[in-house]
Amino acid sequence: MLAKAMGLRTDEIVVDLEDSVVPDAKEHARDLVAAFLSRERSPAPGIAVRVNAFASAWGERDVVELMRRAGRQIDSLIVPKVERSEDIGEVERLLDLQGEPGRGVRLQALVETAAGLLHVAEIAAASSRLEALILGYADLAASLGRAPGAMAPASWLYAQEAVLVAARAAGLQMIDGPYLEIRDAAGLRLRAEHVRALGFDGKWAVHPDQLAIINEVFTPTAEEVARARAILDALEDAEGRGAVELHGEMIDAASRKLALQVIARGRAAGLEGASR
């Protein structure tokens, strides 16, 4: 599965040592992942590893062993069930102790409990290594006492907005957690479009069949890129005016910021017209 994942059209591969691995297999899974990642790999998506929580019996050992054996191959560690800034600080300090192998490794924080949601602004500002917040729905539902099963996207609006605001205030990426109904393409699209409209940067997939929909939703259309380019050109030609009219709409500095975001996403997706 790891070898197959390297060839998928995705921005990041998340290797999981936490919830998808039963306790009796934790040590063996860590060895398999470290051995796989330590081998020379061809150009591939970014590699992240979700380690076990430090409150567990495996979290610290995950970090130490992964850095010792494959630190130079790992782009970031994903810290699960983060509930306070100190949870990120502990991982950061342990990475610092590993020296060169851990020096360039970034962190991502999974917000998936009521306590994590309550302290999300502090978590977002916890470390200069932090690059993204991820909203995890399954554990958050359990923490809040919500019934299992798929829920309407709007049911999570408070959590989505709170984590998004914290991420943006700290200059972090905002990633949506996975939709676990892997055969429900319509449900996946609904949820991906919902968080994309809110301003999220991406969404986790738990099956390769989900990638096409997620990539489509988060990639700007050619029309969106063309409009963003037109906004930038119009403001550049504004001859000293801060606001101008474009196709019946008043555009200004805020319009420019939004246009630049569209161009950046288009450039990342290799869209024509986004590279100029």
Asked whether residue 273 is domain-assigned, the answer is: no
- pLDDT band at 105, cuts 50/70/90? very high
Residues in the chain, total: 276
273 against 210, higher pLDDT: 210
CATH assignment of the domain containing 105: 3.20.20.60
Mean pLDDT of the chain: 92
Asked whether residue 276 is domain-assigned, the answer is: no
* Same domain (yes/no): 82, 133: yes
* Same domain (yes/no): 103, 175: yes
* Same domain (yes/no): 156, 242: no
Taking the C-alpha atoms of residue 69 and residue 91, their distance in angstroms, rounded to an integer, is 17
What's the domain range around 231? 222-268
* Same domain (yes/no): 230, 179: no
Asked whether residue 172 is domain-assigned, the answer is: yes
- pLDDT band at 238, cuts 50/70/90? confident
Say whether 91 sits in a helix, a strand or coil.
helix
Domain boundary among 202, 218, 234: 218
Asked whether residue 239 is domain-assigned, the answer is: yes
- pLDDT band at 148, cuts 50/70/90? low
* Same domain (yes/no): 58, 194: yes
* Same domain (yes/no): 134, 245: no
* Same domain (yes/no): 125, 112: yes
- State the helix-helix crossing angle for 211-218 and 185-198, rounded to 10 degrees: 30
Domain boundary among 185, 202, 218: 218
Contact 73, 104 (CB under 8 A): no
* Same domain (yes/no): 130, 210: yes
Q: Which amino acid belongs to residue 36?
A: F
The burial class, CB within 10 Å (0-12 / 13-18 / 19+), for 200 is: buried
Asked whether residue 94 is domain-assigned, the answer is: yes
Report whether pLDDT(175) > 80: yes
Can you tell me which residue has the tokens 């609904």? 190
This prediction has a pTM of 0.90
* Same domain (yes/no): 120, 80: yes
Report whether pLDDT(99) > 70: yes
Give percent above pLDDT 90 in the chain: 71
Domain boundary among 218, 237, 256: 218
Q: What is the CA radius of gyration of the chain?
A: 20
Tokens of residue 128, six digits: 């200069």
Q: How many CB atoms are closer than 10 A to CB 22?
A: 8
Taking the C-alpha atoms of residue 126 and residue 133, their distance in angstroms, rounded to an integer, is 12
Average pLDDT of the residues in 112-133: 98
Asked whether residue 79 is domain-assigned, the answer is: yes
Average pLDDT of the residues in 245-265: 88
Contact 60, 26 (CB under 8 A): no
Pairing of strands 249-251, 244-246: antiparallel
Asked whether residue 274 is domain-assigned, the answer is: no
* Same domain (yes/no): 31, 46: yes
* Same domain (yes/no): 189, 212: yes
Taking the C-alpha atoms of residue 170 and residue 188, their distance in angstroms, rounded to an integer, is 28
Number of domains in the chain: 2
Pairing of strands 106-111, 130-135: parallel
* Same domain (yes/no): 257, 168: no
Asked whether residue 38 is domain-assigned, the answer is: yes
Our CA angle for 29, 33, 35, nearest 5°, is 115
For residue 30, is it left (φ>0), alpha (ψ between -120 and 50) or beta?
alpha
